[in-house]
Amino acid sequence: MTTKKVALAGLLSALGVVISPYLWFPFLASKAYPGQHMINAIAGVLLGPWWASLIAVIVGTIRISLGVGTIYAYPGGIPGAIVVGGVAWLLRRLNWKHIEVAALFEPLGTVLIGGTISVYIFAPMLGHVKMMWALIPIWGCWAISSVPGCVIGYFVLL
């Protein structure tokens, strides 16, 4: 099973990087990328939280290196991947019939956890202090990227 997980993780990482130049849009000091949330949703359900978060780190790092991502790729990707993987694990433990529903929990991690981390930790470090007053608007704008991405991931899993 480990070989299959490594292969799928490599495939999803490559897919996340390949589609990144085409599916992003600028927002404030970051670059929103619904494709990452789609990958998080798929990886979290199929591989679990740790593999999904590793994929988010890989895709985020390569996006930053290519100039189509910012430091906000990390708080924007990792928490959502962990939440989806955790919910999928929980649904499996409960013998839930439709585990792919876990993909729809991605915005909880990305928007609430990742958005809060980005506003209160990353923004001051980068000199984007004006963002600190705008937690609720930031959540809304991160949701603009996260919700469509997780819905696409959900439909891919069906």
- pLDDT tens, residue by residue, 2-16: 999 999 999 999 999
Domain count, the chain: 1
User: Can you give the residue range of the structural domain that contains 17?
Assistant: 2-157
- Torsions phi, psi for 152 (to 5 deg): -60, -45
Between 12-21, 56-65, 115-124, the lowest mean confidence (pLDDT) is in: 115-124
Q: Which residue has the higher pLDDT, 103 or 30?
A: 103
71-90: buried (b, 16+ CB within 10 Å) or exposed (e) per residue?
A: bbbbbbbbbbbbbbbbbbbe
Q: Which residue has the higher pLDDT, 71 or 154?
A: 154
Across the range 103-108, mean pLDDT stands at: 97
For residue 122, what is the domain's CATH number?
Answer: 1.10.1760.20
pLDDT at 31: 73
The predicted model scores a pTM of 0.90
**3-state class of 158 per DSSP?**
coil
